[in-house]
Amino acid sequence: QDYYGKELQKSEDLKTNACITSARPLPKMVRDALEHIHEEVVARYYGCGLVIPECLSSCRILDLGSGSGRDCYVLSQLVGEQGHVTGIDMTQGQVEVAKKHIAYHMDKFGYRKPNVEFFHGYMEKLGDVGLADESYDIIVSNCVINLAPDKRAVLQEAFRVLKPGGEMYFSDIYASQCLSEPIRKHRVLWGECLAGALYWRDLYSIAEEVGFSAPRLVTASPITIGNKELEAIVGDCRFVSATFRLFKVPAGSRAGPAQAIYNGGIVGHERELVFDANFSFKEGEVVDVDAEMAAILQSSRFAEEFLIRAGGANTAALQGCC
């Protein structure tokens, strides 16, 4: 908390590119939404790119590690006045910055009442700030789960507050191996999101144990350190910034492989929806999907955007990011 609240005053103070890696190219409507964000909120933001999934109208979204609120205020515009965005962050100073600009943004967006709220708290203990079971459609998180000592508790809480069919869409830092004690206890490497990085294979086992579908890799980018002292401590361990999708698929919804046809109805993705690193759906095109993908499309907010019919090849999803 001291590192983010005191040593880091602006994005330029970061010593690695771990927290400024882009997730993937931003649609025009997201770039336009960024133009409306207060300059202090942008300056005090330390996330890795912008983590924004598709199909957001009227959704209830929770941002874990919302920091100064930049992503929340972008999402506020994308969900519309009928949607809602909650941000939670462990750093009091960051939460205060986010709260300070609520009225500014609601006026800027032309909303009659706020559709955002911010809490000071911990993503491992969402119940402490009153977040109820099955209360959100989507959870986003941007380069902060690595800062939580108990990653399993974070995913367990995320699973709890998501509605059936809900999604956790998040970027984070992953390591090519389990980290040594000197790395895990290094103050700067921790603050720069590297010391708390999860060994990428552990994400798959934890997600399965919690109840999520298998993680679906969206993008992955190598991280460069550019600091000889830190590079010496890290040694031959390699890091990536990766974006994954996890879905809370209702029990019994996996019927088998199928064919999916996208209707082109998602704003900003009318011609093609790039769902993850393995599946891309062009409007009107028949795509063979595995049983899990078929269940995800049918049980989530994407259900109205696809025609799903039985059959298709049993396509196995690729795994891994490092």
Contacts of 67 (CB under 8 A, 6+ apart): 4, 44, 45, 46, 47, 87, 89, 91, 94, 98, 144
Q: Is the pLDDT of residue 6 over 80?
A: no
Give CA separation, 124 vs 102, 145, 151, 157, in Å. Answer: 25, 10, 8, 6
Quick one: pLDDT at residue 4? 46
- Closest to 15 in 3D by CA, of 184, 194, 226: 226
- Distance in angstroms (rounded) separating the CA atoms of residues 223 and 225: 7
Q: Is the pLDDT of residue 133 over 50?
A: yes
Structure confidence at residue 231 as a pLDDT band (50, 70, 90): confident
3-state secondary structure 122-158: CCCCHHHHCCCCCCEEEEEEECCHHHCCCHHHHHHHH
- DSSP category for residue 267: T
Segment 96-123, tens digit of pLDDT: 999 999 999 999 999 999 999 999 999 9
**Helix 200-210 × helix 151-161 angle, to 10°:** 40
Structure confidence at residue 7 as a pLDDT band (50, 70, 90): low
DSSP letters along 283-319, please? BT-EEEE-HHHHHHHHHSTTGGGEEEEE----PPPP-
Cα end-to-end span (Å), the chain: 29
Q: Is the pLDDT of residue 319 over 60?
A: no
- Closest to 171 in 3D by CA, of 132, 195, 198, 191: 198
Segment 268-307, tens digit of pLDDT: 999 999 999 999 999 999 999 999 999 999 999 999 999 9
Give CA separation, 119 vs 48, 61, 87, 210, 218, in Å. Answer: 21, 14, 6, 25, 29
Determine the CATH number of domain 2-248: 3.40.50.150
- Distance in angstroms (rounded) separating the CA atoms of residues 285 and 281: 7
Structure confidence at residue 12 as a pLDDT band (50, 70, 90): low
Structure confidence at residue 224 as a pLDDT band (50, 70, 90): confident
Segment 245-268, tens digit of pLDDT: 999 999 888 779 999 999 999 999
- The mean of the pLDDT values for the chain is 89
Quick one: pLDDT at residue 181? 85
Quick one: pLDDT at residue 265? 95
Quick one: pLDDT at residue 24? 64
Quick one: pLDDT at residue 253? 81
Segment 158-214, tens digit of pLDDT: 999 999 999 999 999 999 888 888 888 888 888 788 888 899 999 999 999 999 999
- DSSP category for residue 256: -
Ordered by start, the domain boundaries in the chain are: 2-248, 258-310
- Distance in angstroms (rounded) separating the CA atoms of residues 186 and 196: 10
Segment 56-79, tens digit of pLDDT: 999 999 999 999 999 999 999 999
- For 258-310, which CATH class? alpha beta
Quick one: pLDDT at residue 321? 53
Quick one: pLDDT at residue 109? 97
- Distance in angstroms (rounded) separating the CA atoms of residues 9 and 5: 7
